[in-house]
């Protein structure tokens, strides 16, 4: 069982070159609880800063719980709630946001309708040409 603020990755990660076909970037669970079965709402973490197309927001080291494998490293969150695919699992917890990290994101995140990662993938694929 995962909870809001848990940082997860698939046990079998896809390679960076294949990132559009699975979960390459770590995801923050954004549902109050996630059983690991079915799709879930998540927020993508990345090292990429903001661009013309993506309003990625820099986080702070104290937004993360220390002593877990996933820690702050110039970490940004993509300002969009995504519908992440259960088929990319099973997942494992690799980190956790501190309460301040959850509040930080919640105060800044685009609260519009969550976007299917399939739709996001198609936008990214088209934007490369």
100-122 pLDDT, tens per residue? 999 999 999 988 888 887 676 66
Residue 124 has what pLDDT? 56
Q: Mind listing the pLDDT tens digit for each residue in 66-99?
A: 988 888 999 999 998 988 777 777 889 999 999 9
Residue 84's CATH number: 2.30.30
Cα–Cα distance for residue pair 120/57, rounded to 1 Å = 18
Q: Do the Cβ atoms of 9 and 49 come closer than 8 Å?
A: no
Cα–Cα distance for residue pair 42/91, rounded to 1 Å = 13
The residue segments making up the domain with residue 85 are 2-127
The pLDDT mean for the chain works out to: 84
Query: Over 50: is that where the pLDDT of 19 sits?
Result: no
Domain count, the chain: 1
């Amino acid at each position: 069982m995962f909870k809001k603020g848990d940082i997860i990755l698939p046990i079998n990660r896809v390679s960076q070159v294949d990132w559009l076909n699975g979960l390459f970037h770590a995801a923050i669970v954004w549902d109050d609880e996630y059983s690991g079965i079915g799709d879930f709402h998540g927020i993508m973490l990345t090292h990429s800063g903001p661009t013309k197309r993506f309003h990625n927001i820099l986080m702070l080291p104290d937004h993360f719980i220390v002593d877990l494998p996933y820690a702050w490293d110039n970490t940004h969150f993509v300002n969009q709630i995504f519908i992440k695919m259960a088929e990319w699992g099973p997942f494992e917890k690799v980190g956790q946001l501190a309460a301040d990290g959850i509040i930080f994101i919640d105060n800044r995140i685009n609260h519009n309708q969550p976007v299917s990662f399939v739709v996001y993938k198609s936008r990214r694929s088209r934007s490369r040409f």
